[in-house]
Amino acid sequence: MAVTRSFKTMVEDRLARDPGFREALLRESVETMLAGDMQTGKAVLRDYIKATIGFTALSEGIGTPPKSLIRMFGPKGNPNADNLFKVLGHLQKHAGIQLHIA
């Protein structure tokens, strides 16, 4: 049997080289949360953050400690609206995109 790369590694590699994929994954995270599936939306957003800007740089950008951000987007995390919108605003700015709700 052939050895394959892990799914997370494959996604991280694609995020690093494909701006369209980065935008689609960020959009998917937000749409999933808006549809009511916070757990999946947070998990996708956590993977997006780890593969793009990283929690340290995000922390510096929004003024929230990295450990708080990691907990916030962990399985038991519960980000409040203020923190979530700060994160999403900074990620959009970092990616050079603007998400719109229709």
Residue 102, domain member (yes or no): no
Percent of the chain scored above 70 by pLDDT? 95
Indicate the number of domains in the chain. 1
Is 14 in a helix, a strand, or coil?
A: helix
Residue 100, domain member (yes or no): no
Which range marks the domain in which residue 23 is found?
A: 7-95
pLDDT at 29: 95
What is d(CA 49, CA 44) in angstroms, rounded to the nearest whole number? 9
Picking from 22-26, 41-45, 98-102, which range would have the lowest pLDDT averaged per residue?
Answer: 98-102
The model's pLDDT over 28-86, given as tens digits with 9 standing for 90+, comes to 999 999 999 999 999 999 989 998 999 999 999 999 999 999 999 999 999 999 999 99
Is 57 in a helix, a strand, or coil?
A: helix
The alpha carbons of the chain give a radius of gyration, in whole angstroms, of: 14
